[in-house]
Amino acid sequence: MAVRPAYFVREAASNLGRNFLMFVAAAVAVAISLSLFGAVLLFQRIVSNVTTQWQNDVVMNVFLKDDAAANSADVKRIGEEIQGYKEVKGVTYVTKNEAYDEFRTMFGNQPELVESVTPETLPASFRVSLNDNDTLETVQDRIRTISGVDEVNSAVEQVKSIQRVLTYLQVGVMIAGIVLLVSSVVLISNTIRLAIFARRKEIAIMKLVGATNWFIRWPFLLEGAAAGIVGVGLAVALTFLIRYLLTGWESIRFVPLNIPFGYMLWPVTIVLVLVAMLISVGGTAWALRRYLDV
Which residues of this protein are in contact with another protein, per CB under 8 A?
1-4, 7, 201-202, 204-213, 215-216
**Closest CB 29 distance from another protein, rounded Å:** 30
Question: How many angstroms separate the Cα of 244 from the Cα of each of 19, 109, 136, 241, 275?
Answer: 34, 35, 36, 5, 23
Residue 197 vs 249, nearer CB to another protein: 197
Three-class SS state of 259: coil
Residue 168 vs 197, nearer CB to another protein: 197
Whats the size of the chain, residue-wise? 294
Question: How many angstroms separate the Cα of 171 from the Cα of each of 20, 47, 255, 276, 291?
Answer: 34, 12, 19, 20, 35
Q: Which has the closest alpha carbon to 33: 210, 282, 272?
A: 272
CB 2 within 8 A of CB 212: no
Q: Which has the closest alpha carbon to 97: 66, 122, 116, 117?
A: 122
Residue 8 vs 63, nearer CB to another protein: 8
**Closest CB 2 distance from another protein, rounded Å:** 4
Q: Which has the closest alpha carbon to 15: 134, 188, 133, 262?
A: 188
**Closest CB 12 distance from another protein, rounded Å:** 15
Q: End-to-end distance of the chain based on CA atoms, in angstroms?
A: 18
**Closest CB 4 distance from another protein, rounded Å:** 6
**Closest CB 196 distance from another protein, rounded Å:** 15
**Closest CB 213 distance from another protein, rounded Å:** 7
- The rounded distance, in Å, linking the Cα atoms of 254 and 287 is 49
Residue 199 vs 243, nearer CB to another protein: 199
Residue 84 vs 210, nearer CB to another protein: 210
Residue 102 vs 293, nearer CB to another protein: 293
> Would you state the torsion angle of the CA atoms of residues 276, 278, 281, 283, taken in this order, to the nearest 10 degrees?
-90
